[in-house]
Amino acid sequence: MPNATYHFPPDFLWGVATASHQVEGNNTNNQWWAWEQDEGHINFGHKSGKACGWWENTDIDFDIAARMGLNAMRLSLEWSRIEPKEGYLDLDAIERYRQMLQGLKQRGIEPMVTLHHFSNPLWLEEYGSWENPDIVMFFNRYTEQVMKHLGDEATLWCTLNEPNVYASQGYVEGIFPPGRSDIKAARQVLRNMVQAHVESYKIIHRIKPEAQVGFAHNYRFFDPARPNNLMDRVASWAYEQAFNRAFLKPLLNGWWHLFLGIGPAPGMGKAVDWIGLNYYTRDLVRFDRTAKDDLYSQRLHAEDAELLDGGYGELYPEGLFRALKILSRKGLPIYITENGTPDSDDDQRPRALVLHLHQMWKALQENIQIRGYYHWTLTDNFEWAEGWGMPFGLIEMDPETKERKTRPSADLYSAIVRGNAITPELIDAYIPEVRPVIMPE
């Protein structure tokens, strides 16, 4: 296929993904802002500060997205703005979000709205946030208020972003707030998140029956470093079950996963309209009997792997196809709700983008129901514990001046979106080195 053109469905959603705390600025009333103020929590001592300035002005980035030809954007609501005090609804914040959502639609960009993307109001932290079973009641109230006031502004709703990452990074690895290392607490957090999703799903459909509701799940492969080694395979299986399967099983199969409990999970297996896939990279897992705190294993990279900037992981686009195949078994529509590459000089991102999109195209040829692709992210933003040191943006942004510059990967993505295809001409113009990979002789 030396001159193949890879076409995508005519109604495909091409977008970018964002999160409120990472782009809005001055989110002073959530646990992440408080976490940033303590020395040692964020690389280089960075703080989110004014972030990308969205709370004051989204026109700059929304206009960029429109000029790129994007027809979709995933963004999240900041719970700490909408409910800054327990039980108090800030109507001015609601109105600001309405302006954002209407601003997207006026530009022909369909919003996908995420209710929770890692950040909690400070008042919720005082109750133990997601460790406390009462979180389901609190999240119900928040969901209901959002839907009553903003439900008419969007059809695609995402309840939770990456519950497995929230639990593992905050309650096992300890690099997200609250900085714990407590497997039991992580299990409780995930159970509560499963139940909160189910109840939120019901509320959204009660208020807006035509809504389409899902969640965004981070799928990271943990392949055995030595496939023929039994203990490597066992260690790999343990990571797969704890990280990838624990949240998915009750919602997709109606049964609690062994990490969260045993037995049926009544009513949970039908609380999903679509699955969101966040995919970035993989690890190789090698058994290590001395590593008790890491499931008796080391996490490595393949010897011949191309490593991504900042030690983020290896470039492994084949994992996107593998994850899509696994998630497609339930027959539900899938949105790739995040996929991207940290790359300050843009020397890897164009290649990574096309290689991943080619894997997505392959999955589409197997009739997997992929409805859209949301690149992470539009503009360089505050990347949680990595601060400003891990730029994922198609658009470069100076954290101090907020000056934005278009990277070549943005032009490439725009050309793919506008043509709804990967063409030989685009490959030759931007990344001729991948032609032998995706267009072999």
Tally of domains within the chain: 1
Pairing of strands 6-7, 421-422: antiparallel
CA torsion through residues 372, 212, 217, 63, sign: positive
Q: Residue for token digits 């009750």?
A: 250
Q: Measured between alpha carbons, how far is residue 65 from residues 58, 143, 276, 333, 406 in Å?
A: 11, 28, 21, 24, 11
426 falls within a domain: no
pLDDT in tens, the chain (441 residues): 678 999 999 999 999 999 999 999 999 999 999 999 999 999 999 999 999 999 999 999 999 999 999 999 999 999 999 999 999 999 999 999 999 999 999 999 999 999 999 999 999 999 999 999 999 999 999 999 999 999 999 999 999 999 999 999 999 999 999 999 999 999 999 999 999 999 999 999 999 999 999 999 999 999 999 999 999 999 999 999 999 999 999 999 999 988 898 899 888 888 999 999 999 999 999 999 998 878 889 999 999 999 999 889 999 999 999 999 999 999 999 999 999 999 999 999 999 999 999 999 999 999 999 999 999 999 999 999 999 999 999 999 999 999 999 999 999 999 999 999 999 999 999 999 999 999 887
430 falls within a domain: no
Q: How far is the C-alpha of 139 from the C-alpha of 79, rounded, in Å? A: 9
49 falls within a domain: yes
414 falls within a domain: no
- What's the domain range around 371? 10-400
Judged on CB neighbours under 10 Å (0-12, 13-18, 19+), 270 is: exposed
337 falls within a domain: yes
**111, 101 contact by CB (below 8 A):** yes
417 falls within a domain: no
Two tokens at 24? Answer: 């809005």
Listed in sequence order, the residues at least 6 apart from 77 whose beta carbon sits closer than 8 Å to its beta carbon are 20, 97, 113, 114, 115, 146, 150
Nearest of 425, 426, 394, 423 to residue 409 by alpha carbon: 394
Listed in sequence order, the residues at least 6 apart from 314 whose beta carbon sits closer than 8 Å to its beta carbon are 281, 282, 301, 302, 305, 306, 307, 308
Q: How far is the C-alpha of 234 from the C-alpha of 287, rounded, in Å? A: 8
124 falls within a domain: yes
Judged on CB neighbours under 10 Å (0-12, 13-18, 19+), 141 is: middle
Report the CATH number that the domain containing residue 101 is assigned in CATH: 3.20.20.80
Taking every pair of Cα atoms in the chain, the longest distance, rounded to a whole number of angstroms, is 63
